[in-house]
Amino acid sequence: MSTVEITPFDKYDKSGAYHWAECDRRYSNYLRYNPALDARYELTMRAIRDSEARGSLLDVGCGDGCLMARVAPLMNKVVGVDSEAGAIRWAKEKLLNVPNCEPIQTACYDLPFPAESFDIVTSADVIEHLTDPRHHLQEIRRVLRPGGALVLTTPKWRPDRKWDHRHEKEYRAEELSALLAEYFHRVDLTFFWPLRWSRFYATRFGWRLLKLISIQLWNPFLGHSAAEPEKFGQILATCREPRSSSTR
């Protein structure tokens, strides 16, 4: 049993199943719709689809289960874990009619699964909240099958301020790549959320306009590249070929 301290995250108790609300693209919901969040989940789902794995998926830090629902049609079984009881309550309610999804309350440092249990693991904006990211990655590597993959997203470090005061650490691209390479032989980084759109979204009129454009036409936050990380606000890492635990 891990003795690592778990950082509390009470947003689900305060805001409910907010990921579901913020990814609802109906025009009637446009004031709550969050195109940046929607883009994160869409690009994660594309990475999973491109992996061609169709077995079992583990979503670590599943929250209210929104990502689980989106990837469920691609997989035979989807398991989600989160340390917050409020998050799991919402996930169970929202996923009641999605039979191949199972939310479980547990810490990301102590995954209650045998070794080599999953074909894909997702970790969507989790690692920046952790006091012990290596323990997190060790557990992910343990439960991945030899041919499996980790799809991970996290905000990219910026020099002026943190993206969120709840974050323990935000990573430069080279920092994250080096950390992930300790556990995987192959690490591919893609950068998304163009900063020019993030800055426009933060203006008085920009946020309304981008919400409407994203609903009706195209989502500019889906813009991505494997180069020029300084132009983007988020990192998507696809990690393959887990290293043997004896190498760490």
Per the domain annotation, does 11 fall within a domain? no
Q: Which residue has the higher pLDDT, 248 or 212?
A: 212
Cβ within 8 Å of residue 206, ≥6 positions away = 200
C-alpha distances out from residue 158 to 118, 162, 234, 235, 241, Å: 33, 7, 10, 12, 30
Torsion of CA 112, 116, 119, 121, to 10 degrees: 40
Per the domain annotation, does 234 fall within a domain? yes
Per the domain annotation, does 146 fall within a domain? yes
Percent of the chain clearing pLDDT 90 (strictly above): 80
Burial class (CB in 10 A: 0-12, 13-18, 19+), 196: exposed
Per the domain annotation, does 187 fall within a domain? yes
Taking 90 as the threshold, does the pLDDT of residue 71 lie above it? yes
Q: How many CB atoms lie within 10 A of CB 211?
A: 21
Per the domain annotation, does 139 fall within a domain? yes
Q: Give pLDDT, residue 9.
A: 60
Task: Say what the pTM is.
Answer: 0.92
pLDDT, one tens digit per residue, over 201-247 is: 999 999 999 999 999 999 999 999 999 999 999 999 999 999 887 55
Pick left, alpha or beta for residue 44 (phi over 0 → left; psi -120 to 50 → alpha; otherwise beta): alpha
* pLDDT (mean) for 181-195: 97
Q: Which two tokens stand for residue 235?
A: 């990192």
* pLDDT (mean) for 82-92: 94
Q: Give pLDDT, residue 7.
A: 59
Number of domains the chain is built from: 1
Q: Give pLDDT, residue 164.
A: 77
- List the CATH number of the domain containing 102: 3.40.50.150
pLDDT, one tens digit per residue, over 143-154 is: 999 999 999 999
Q: What is the 3-state secondary structure (H, E, C) of 66-125?
A: HHHHHHHHHCCEEEEEECCHHHHHHHHHHCCCCCCEEEEECCCCCCCCCCCCEEEEEEEC
What SS3 state is found at 6?
Answer: coil
Taking 90 as the threshold, does the pLDDT of residue 248 lie above it? no
- Choose the weakest-confidence range: 2-11, 47-56, 98-107, 126-135: 2-11
Residue with tokens 């003795």: 3
CA separation for the pair 243, 146 (Å, rounded): 9
Per the domain annotation, does 151 fall within a domain? yes
Per the domain annotation, does 222 fall within a domain? no
pLDDT, one tens digit per residue, over 101-126 is: 999 999 888 899 999 999 999 999 99
| Domain extent at residue 91 | 45-192+230-247
Q: Give pLDDT, residue 5.
A: 54
CA separation for the pair 85, 208 (Å, rounded): 33
Q: Which two tokens stand for residue 241?
A: 């070929």
pLDDT, one tens digit per residue, over 13-65 is: 778 899 999 999 999 998 999 999 999 999 999 999 998 888 999 999 999 99
Q: Give pLDDT, residue 117.
A: 96
Per the domain annotation, does 209 fall within a domain? no
Instruction: Write down how long the chain is.
Output: 248
* pLDDT (mean) for 170-198: 96
Nearest residue to 201 (alpha-carbon basis) of 213, 191, 217, 190: 213
